[in-house]
Chains A and B, each alone.
Chain A
Amino acid sequence: MKILVAVKRVVDYNVKVRPKSDGSDVDLANVKMSINPFCEIAVEEAVRLAEKGLATEVVAVSVGPKQAQEQLRTALALGADRAVLVETDESLEPLAIAKCLKAVCDAESPDIILMGKQAIDGDNNQTGQMLSALLDCSQATFASELTLDGGKAVVIREVDGGLQTLELSLPAIVTSDLRLNEPRYASLPNIMKAKRKSLDVKTPDDLGVSIAPRVTLLGVELPAERQAGIKVDDVAMLVDKLKNEAKVIS
């Protein structure tokens, strides 16, 4: 069984992002970039399946700039066997990424495609679903548990109000939620070994995919700043403020 796992390079989860001074976009100059946390979980899941002997090959794929090789090397260090980068400096919408991934899937024919449920840069939560439509294959989003059973995948999904269990025929797309697993650290010996693993670079043109944007970004701004709270001396003052200033009670 072959697993393809998608890996996106995004702003590090701990960075406080700011708009550029002209408000045209998020300022990414000198900002720490990392692997999208949900993709990291997807990689971990793929590697665990390989370690259990359930997967024979794990291929990590990223669509993004040249520097996304760093995140692919991380995936290789975590245990992926080889990597493919679809290199482009264009700003990428979910559909463009899904199309690129489709082209890679057509060439690789994976049985399972593991992805993050969303990337924390755009928070779109669209790519997995779009890829499923393009490939016309089954999908299970928001997975918190994945088991392989014969030729089927059984996925427990986190849905509003509880858990849902799906049985999927393969090939299938599974997108990871936070509780699917806890990713390991990349070990230094494995990082060194990862340097010798193969990393293919292609372009969207090579794959015959058009990634031209369909959405124009008009501007980015910070949310309105929240006012600091105040301390009141006693209940009477609290009631007075609620009545006369906040006007939430009468």
Chain B
Amino acid sequence: MLPQRVIEQLIDIVGESRLLFEADDLQRFGVDRTTLWQAAPCAVVLPGTVEEVQSIVRLANQCNLAIVPSGGRTGLSGGAVAKDGELVVALDRINQVIDFNPMDRSVTVGAGMITGHLQQFAEEQGLFYPVDFAASGSSQIGGNIATNAGGIKVVKYGMTRNWVAGLKVVNGAGDIIELNKGLAKNNTGYDLRHLFIGSEGTLGLICEATIQLARAPLESSVMVMGVENFAEIVDVLTCFSRDLDLSAFEFFSQQALDKVISHRGHTEPFKTETAFYALLEFEHSSPDILDKAMALFEHCVDVGWVVDGVISQSQSQAKNLWKLREDISGTLWQWQPYKNDISVRISRMADFLEDVDQLVMEQYPDFEVIWYGHIGDGNLHLNILKPEAFSVDQFHSKCVNVSEEIGQLLAKYEGSVSAEHGVGLLKKDYLHYSRSAVEMDMMRSIKRAFDPNYIMNPGKLFD
């Protein structure tokens, strides 16, 4: 419970209607898309300006109140979970377009802007915001930056980091800082902007962001191909990316496709059933590109990697093929999946896949395991579905054991225990498989420099 005095001070800052205590507000703002923790914030505050954010952070420092920054709460690692009486600071109201500059091809927006709205704004200007994934209709730019979100276009456009030209933040000490000011070149020492990208709310609150926009993409085609052997997806990837500039390369298993088709009513890409499917997209950058793609497909069939395939003939078909991949995460929700979001370098993918596959078969003989992911970036989403007979706790403790083994395997392959979802609460016990003890110490020192009283999202990322 917040002391009455603090409540009054918060109301002074934001106004009475912007401070929420109702049970369903606490529930709604207190958890992200993970299902492992119970929401228990002391209150939710909705500031409308950067100055209000600053006042809240200063107040929190005075009364030693922990803050959980909240974006769209689509996170999958528990980063935006407030389970220990923290104050949730939700950026929802700081969501305006502040400045659009066509000459710089950049736009400054409030961090609470929904990702999809930024994409739409860019499109209206004849430009393109290329970070996209199935949650972009709910996630916020601030949350994307705080997690350095990836998504389905990383092969061509990279992660959120590539598009952040400037930030206005309030650090844990309560200072308002402008980082990089939208400059393309700025070699004036440490680039603190990049420390905030991927910081998961542990250094401060991102309030505004200057986002670089891309040129609008050309018309594109989507191909879906059936592949029998896990490791050969990598061969297909190598083959296509050698000759084509891909804008996406995704994969999913037959089980994933079955579930999406039966729950969403989509049409299968083709009748031939194969163990895995590769989905790729490329832009029509030259007149002969379709012939080139066709020749590559033929080659993949000739050497025996690919069994069957389709290519979109219209934008509707392209969209529908994408749904087969994009709807997987949402479809799996009902099984309360334990999600692994792991990555290795592409060159190590084939061997790694073989090892993980074997590990999973040995360790989860009676669990349903669903594979999919952004394989063009070396990123696999390994989802383990909860059998009905298991309680959440039982299931979780079983998965935790296997995560240790996957962690060891990742350490051996020099991979990452979190490719794009962030560490939050879910992965912090495995962080040491990807980061050395020295690195961990340095990260703690950095946190101390921005957040001396340890009020920003404590317990997330590391203890």
Contact = CB atoms under 8 A, between A and B. Distances in A.
Interface of A: 12-15, 32, 34-35, 37, 40, 74, 182, 184-189, 191-192
29 contacts: A13-B314, A14-B314, A14-B319, A15-B315, A32-B219, A34-B316, A35-B313, A37-B314, A37-B316, A40-B314, A182-B267, A184-B267, A184-B270, A185-B224, A185-B269, A185-B270, A185-B310, A185-B311, A185-B312, A185-B321, A187-B270, A187-B308, A188-B225, A188-B294, A188-B308, A188-B309, A189-B309, A191-B311, A192-B294
Given A186-B311, A187-B309, A192-B298, 11 more contacts: A14-B315, A32-B315, A37-B316, A184-B267, A185-B270, A185-B312, A185-B317, A187-B308, A187-B310, A188-B294, A188-B311
B326 to A, nearest CB: 16
B69 to A, nearest CB: 26
A186 B316 contact: no
B297 interface: yes
B320 to A, nearest CB: 8
A15 B298 CA distance: 31
Interface string B270-303: 1000000000000000000000001001100100
A14 B312 CA distance: 13
Contact of A186 (B267, B310, B319): B310
A32 B314 CA distance: 8
B315 A34 contact: yes
Contact of B313 (A182, A186, A189, A192): A186
A14 B316 contact: yes
B34 to A, nearest CB: 32
Contacts of A187: 270, 308-310
B223 interface: yes
Interface in B65-115: none
A207 to B, nearest CB: 28
A179 B131 CA distance: 35
A74 B313 contact: yes
Contacts of B267: 182, 184-185
Interface string B248-281: 0000000000000000000101100000000000
A37 B320 CA distance: 14
Interface residues of B, number: 23
A83 B311 CA distance: 21
Question: 5 closest pairs, A vs B, by CB?
Answer: A34-B314, A185-B310, A14-B315, A188-B309, A12-B315
A12 B269 contact: no
Nearest to A13: B316
Interface string B173-189: 00000000000000000
Contacts of A13: 314-316
A202 B312 CA distance: 28
Contacts of A74: 313
A157 to B, nearest CB: 24
Q: Which of B225, B267, B312, B313 has the most CB of A within 10 A?
A: B313
Contacts of A189: 301, 308-309
B46 to A, nearest CB: 16
Interface string B310-341: 11111111010100000000000000000000
A15 B314 CA distance: 10
A191 B310 CA distance: 9
Contacts of A12: 314-316
Contacts of A186: 310-311, 313
Contacts of A182: 267
A182 B308 CA distance: 20
Contact of B294 (A14, A15, A32, A191): A191
Given A14-B319, A182-B267, A188 B223 contact: yes
Interface in B213-228: 219, 223-225
Nearest to B270: A187
A15 B315 CA distance: 8
A36 to B, nearest CB: 10
Nearest to B310: A185
Contacts of B219: 32
Contact of A188 (B297, B314, B316): B297
Contacts of B310: 185-188
A34 B320 CA distance: 15
Nearest to B316: A13
A74 B314 CA distance: 10
B312 to A, nearest CB: 7
Contacts of A191: 294, 311
Contacts of B321: 185
Contacts of B294: 188, 191-192
A13 to B, nearest CB: 5
Contacts of A37: 314, 316
A184 B269 CA distance: 8
A191 B311 CA distance: 9
A83 B212 CA distance: 48
Nearest to A32: B219
B87 to A, nearest CB: 27
B148 to A, nearest CB: 30
Contacts of B317: 185
Nearest to B219: A32
A34 B319 contact: no
Q: Which of A14, A182, A188 has the most CB of B within 10 A?
A: A188
Nearest to A74: B313
A35 B314 contact: yes
Given A182-B267, A185-B270, A34 B313 contact: yes
Contacts of B316: 12-14, 34, 37
A120 to B, nearest CB: 11
A18 B298 CA distance: 38
B187 to A, nearest CB: 40
Nearest to B222: A185
Nearest to B319: A14
Nearest to B272: A187
